[in-house]
Amino acid sequence: MRDYKDLVKVAEGAARRAAEYLRAAVRPGWQAWTEKSQHDFVTDIDRGSEALIAEQLQRNVPGSLVVGEELTPALVAQAEVVWIVDPLDGTTNFLHGYPEYAVSIGCAVGGALCAGVIHDVTRDTVYRAWTGGGAWIDKARLKVSTVTEPKRALIATGFPFRQLGTLETYLRQFAAITRDVSGIRRAGSAALDLAHVAAGNFDAFWELGLAPWDIAAGVVLIREAGGLVTRFDGNEDVLNHDNIAAGNPAMHAWLLKTLGSV
């Protein structure tokens, strides 16, 4: 039986080291960006961060497997302990010097998500959670918000800048949600969006086309903070799916209803 708190400590150490590396890195000029897919750029900094994280995770937990966005992206469960790593979430922000990006490390044991750490790089703030242990920022316990009325809600989202085939659907969702809420934010890091839902700063979040490393840590944070994360049909198996809705229980229910109506 693994102690989830120990796994969080290992993830926290690796995320901290990567965050230091990212803060010290010289921001690459646009000539050094590689287009991974349409509108999606990557640099040696993303890969360097992931190599540091993987080394530290596997040194501390021998036999564990790393699934990382840049170097080892296949989501396979061939080990008891699987780390799901985004070494730089918010690469576009990082490349433009917009200070909203993070390191995200989720952990699954026996196929179930059980620990998550999100390090907000520019604020040097750490969000952590483990199953049964709550969600925390430093020594403060995190709780999702108590807002129940859409008109008072601040909702986070991500635009489908890569998968343009979903743009029409997304714009219909955006219109329906915008009509009812107090505000919508698109800050550019899904991991931080989820951390802010866990912290009660955002009341809900939705996005199409996310990857496991964007959400693994955030899912644990939100669930431990009393919130819900599901597919748009309410299914809780989110790691194997890319359309995600999250929020406090009331706003999550409203979000699913609204998304289902367009």
Place of tokens 């995600």: 244
Asked if 22 touches ligand IPD (CB under 6 A), the answer is no
The least distance separating ligand IPD from the CB of residue 222, rounded to whole angstroms, comes to: 15
Cα within 13 Å of Cα(106), Cβ side: 29
182's tokens? 């107090």
- Whichever of 162 and 172 has its CB closer to Ca ion, that residue is 162
Residue type (1 letter), 195:
A
| Residue 50 is a binding residue for Ca ion (CB under 5 A) | no
Q: Is 90 in the site for ligand IPD (CB under 6 A)?
A: yes
Taking the complex as a whole, the smallest distance from the CB of residue 160 to Ca ion amounts, in Å, to: 14
Pairwise CA distance, residues 232 & 217, whole Å? 19
Q: Which of residues 52-81 bind Ca ion (CB under 5 A)?
A: 69
9: exposed, middle or buried (Cβ count in 10 Å: 0-12, 13-18, 19+): middle
Alpha-carbon dihedral of residues 190, 228, 241, 112, nearest 10 degrees? 100
Pull the structure tokens for residue 110: 């026996």
Cβ contacts of 86 within 8 Å, gap of 6 or more: 68, 69, 102, 103, 104, 105, 191, 211, 213, 214
For ligand IPD, the closer CB: 189 or 258 = 189
Assess contact for 85 and 53: CB atoms under 8 A: yes
Tokens of 104: 């995200």
Interacting residues with Ca ion between 175 and 234 (CB under 5 A): 214
| Interface mask toward ligand IPD for 186-215; x: CB under 6 A | --xxx----------------x-xx---x-
Q: State the sign of the Cα–Cα–Cα–Cα dihedral 43, 45, 46, 47.
A: positive
Take residue 226 and report the two structure tokens written for it: 């009393």
Angle at 14 between CA 199 and CA 214, to 5 degrees: 50
Nearest approach, Cβ of residue 94 and Ca ion (Å): 9
**Of 14-22, 47-55, 87-95, 197-205, which segment contacts ligand IPD by CB under 6 A?**
87-95
Nearer to ligand IPD, 49 or 250 (CB): 49
> Residue 53's binding partner, choosing from Ca ion, ligand IPD, none, with beta-carbon cut-off 5 to 8 A by kind?
none
Options 86, 100, 120, 193; binder of Ca ion; rule CB under 5 A: 86
The site string for ligand IPD over 123-162 (x = CB under 6 A, - otherwise) reads: -----------------------------------x----
Q: Which is nearer to Ca ion, 150 or 218 (CB)?
A: 218
Chain residues in the site for Ca ion (CB under 5 A):
69, 86, 88-89, 214
Chain residues in the site for ligand IPD (CB under 6 A):
86, 89-92, 158, 188-190, 207, 209-210, 214
